[in-house]
Amino acid sequence: EAQVTQNPRYLITVTGKKLTVTCSQNMNHEYMSWYRQDPGLGLRQIYYSMNVEVTDKGDVPEGYKVSRKEKRNFPLILESPSPNQTSLYFCASSLAGGPGTGELFFGEGSRLTVL
Amino acid sequence: SQQGEEDPQALSIQEGENATMNCSYKTSINNLQWYRQNSGRGLVHLILIRSNEREKHSGRLRVTLDTSKKSSSLLITASRAADTASYFCATVFYGNNRLAFGKGNQVVVIP
């Protein structure tokens, strides 16, 4: 089944404790992206990647890192999480060309709480 | 960043009625997409309409695009309780390969 898989789905952590949210897609998509969703603010893009070893900042990249060493994986790294990073995070992927040419496929989301 | 803005923000209708949502944006677009999100779940793509298209259909969904008014509408005909969800419009602007989302439109279909 074609899908985007995120882990963990739920996480409660404490300020400053490094964490990684993994994202994997099995559709051989070139484009991958991370969004965060907050009440009243909608979805905001954190980082995106057009292909392996190519990443770029979205609208709210501060406090996050990403890497794209393999086509299927696009982990989101929070080096020193803070409470304002409490949010619902979504990973998404798309064929070559990204959303300019086609739809995004979303994972089920990872709900992160930073105490 | 430029984003689509949905209107109305919340809509409550009876099953069987039609639901219409509007989305406005501010600059020239490459395409506009509509997504649905069931509570707490991932977004699901509904329809993509390109800047040179004016109308698209998919099942009970009809999307229109008016580039002169910088607006789009999503019509759900003969709504069902299962259509209860949040609906987002998202735009890809020319020269920018990023998808910018509006804040969403909550639709409740009452059985």
pLDDT digits (tens, 9 = 90+) for B26-66: 888 889 999 999 988 999 999 999 999 999 999 999 999 99
Residue A73 and residue B64: Cα distance in Å, rounded?
35
Query: Per-residue pLDDT for A99 more than 80?
Result: no
pLDDT digits (tens, 9 = 90+) for B13-29: 999 999 999 999 988 88
Q: How does the average pLDDT of chain B come out, rounded?
A: 90
Mutate to test the interface with B, among A43, A48, A87, A105 (most CBs of B within 10 A): A43
Of A44, A98, A106, the CB nearest to B42: A106
What is the per-residue burial (b if ≥16 Cβ within 10 Å, else e) of B69-89? ebbbbbebeebeeebbbbbbb
Q: How does the average pLDDT of chain A come out, rounded?
A: 94
Who's near A41: CB < 8 A, 6+ residues apart?
B103
Residue A104 and residue A73: Cα distance in Å, rounded?
16
Is B97's CB within 8 Å of A50's CB? Answer: yes
Of B30, B102, B103, the CB nearest to A100: B30
| Closest by CA position to A42, among listed B47, B24, B88 | B88
Query: Per-residue pLDDT for B85 more than 50?
Result: yes
- pLDDT of the residue at B35: 96
